[in-house]
Structure 1
């Protein structure tokens, strides 16, 4: 019984160690990733021109603009606080300027992150906030007003909160601790263990920690952890003398976090090991008891042959029934598992087919919407083609007459006009061919002004006939987004087409197209001066088959498809009414860097024309 229980305990302990090692590795990777993703932020903010300009002449600059700028960075990056220190370590701007515990006016020259950054290198620090009393991890970067080697003129500091990450630890089946090189529990899945010492601190160490102000004036009491066994693989068996974990024994594994000079620990309850040990001991005891009982029966069989044979027969029958019952249960369980696997496989195949059908239906619906737009443009395209055709016929007849009269120069001039008109017709045909093509699956860098120019060329005839004033003022620098050019062009064509239709009864129609940069996003706007959108219809404007047009003028799918396209591109489509009247549609897409080599638009059109 003792050997069996020891073997079962060793096996359960090995399994528990493997589970703890895997959970510890994943948790450590998650902690490092959560903190490291903000490493770039201080340097990026410090390089902004408005930060440098304010730091150069703070008495002239408006600190409220900088406060709002820092607050926008805080909100966008989901950090706790962002603040700016001058050369003396005094906070002159902060994202929490409006709170009672604002950092503005506080001196943080004693903080290591300030000392590192003012020395010209990035800084890192973790500790308890002096004002907010909230734990956090700090990243800092120097702010220089020139490229010299002199002392930086200020420091940008970003504080990353830790509460959200700790909250995710509570969902695990183990308890997690993070300690610094002084064995202070800085983070823990159990709130009662936070800001306590892993082991009791000496008086000198306690005084040293109070002087550093890393943990403010917290008493840092001992956690109550006691080690009662250790293994060669650096795993420990521990228990707690008090606190929320005092009712169990635990396996403790540790993993270093060298980038932060921390240690991460995981505590797994030893209850599974104890249960396995007791169950094995009881099972072995029962087995050995059966052996002893069998020996007794054997001794009885030596004395009473008849009774021995009867007993043996009964035992054989019992074992046979048990074996048959066990085999039947195994067979039934195997059959159930095979049926479950088959059902699961069928469900997976059905889901894949449904997703493929849905994707095909979406692509066909988008292509149908494009062809519907082409149908709406048919009248204008017919007008655009009829004029060159009539002119070609007239120039051809004139050229034949000039050739009969021997006036070759005049005939050549008429033929040149015919060539120019055919090139114009080829451009129109190329635009229609480009719009009607199917989109690809891969996203690439797309020029927003080029997409606007393409969409306006499709509506050139309608815009000219309706005397629509087009206000289009693209930014000086290129505006590129990460998207599919065909799908983005389709959305712009849908929005511009709706705007032109909405202004059909307006005597002075005006179409305003805008491109604006907002951080890592590009805002693309299409605004008209039509009657606008009924407020009651705004909530349903992107629903399929919802339309405010007269029957026969639309199916109500254009805006629904456009919204779905923008969401697939990683952005969003918003609708509203402009302050001066008319509808206002806004496309928000992720901003992208321009490609290193791009083919100019005229060259692409020329290639299409020759094809």
Structure 2
């Protein structure tokens, strides 16, 4: 009695659960059944199309040989040999039949006399030749001897190969009304080519004759088996016809599971290679030959469609139930909210007052935070401006550092002209005292040439040390490379470094800044000379070429290369593999930044010879007025 008020509620809950489960089962079952019918219909349609095409292909393949026996029967060589076979050599006719066999693409061609004995055959040279064998028991012989074209399917008595036979009568005198054939011409066609095309289909195909014997099949295991079990009388009758020689003709194991309609059936196999699978079986009669072609399509897609439909129906049903449950729960919650609405309004009024106080306090905090953030932004802008200025100064400092490294070579280049100028000047004074003006003028000319040479060296230093103009223009790669090499002329000569330049004969133009590009090349050449300082035959390779709308410049050396673990860090600032005090590690970092500013890239890699640095820049157009080329160095 204590639990009696709860009993009706528990009972209603159980009824609802059972009803929902029943609805789920019915929905899934109906969806699966609908999907099965639809998938089975589609599968049956596909099977009908494949069966119709396969049957037409088989019929067309065989009928294309139907004309050959009547044509061969009228050949003069065949009729002449059949008139007196004992007095003639059969080899010319054998070879003629062999040529016909090769040209027509058939298995064998042979000639029978009135008694059915083979007189000539295309396989005369094979151990299992038909010559001398009697085939009067074959139906194609009796049909042809009755004056009609003959057809027959079976196993060859000599080759034991499955083949289809076409025959035609051969008349020596076909004008008499009561004339009878004097012989029979026969061709044999193998069916392996047709069966090989069946193996490519997603289905099993086989052909049965009037005795329900499977003599053609896409599965070799099904060939020469009976569609249904044979009794002793049927087996003896087939052996007497010798159609299938002594084949056991075992039961194929096919079993009908269900008949969908007059043509389609669901079948499976009790034994054999197709055991464990269910198929849709369709049959089409090939009236021309008295055969039936069967196709077996696996029912796996139908089962898969049923499961998918059932699962989708179950999922949809679950969503509907879930939606109904959510709706009912929301209805209950709404009723509860209405019951507590008044109390909530009172609570909200009190919270609103507290919130106003909290908002005012938070507003003051946000204003202070915004002021601090504005100050931080201004400080960051100043820091970025200072950083850019520092980077520009580092670029200039790196250039001056390279000039410092080149100071010894430049000093040597200037000392030689200065010593020569002094000697020429002293001689000129002496020649003037002796009134030898011509010799004095020649010495003064030599002094002028030496001063021009010193001016060229000074101009190179000034050009390299000046700051960039930040203006992009068309630059000749060959000129830039020659200038960079000229700065290292003395160092290259002293280190006996071999310089190899592989560049086009015509100027190669790129878009960039001449001073910055020269600085990058000077940095890379300096690094290459540093890397090859310990090599027995140092080598420096400069090459350039265009690829589409870009130009690539490569600086290679035959040094030890770059460690793989350093390739990802080599362009980082202050990263260096040299000994302490030999460099700050800024050259490659600055060079990489310069290439990015020029809209290009700088990439490091290793070759089989050493290290390679590749500069990529946008290709440029030749300027309207080409810039003045630097003067070539002239020697005193």
TM-score normalized by the length of structure 1: 0.50
Larger Rg: 2
TM-score normalized by the length of structure 2: 0.48
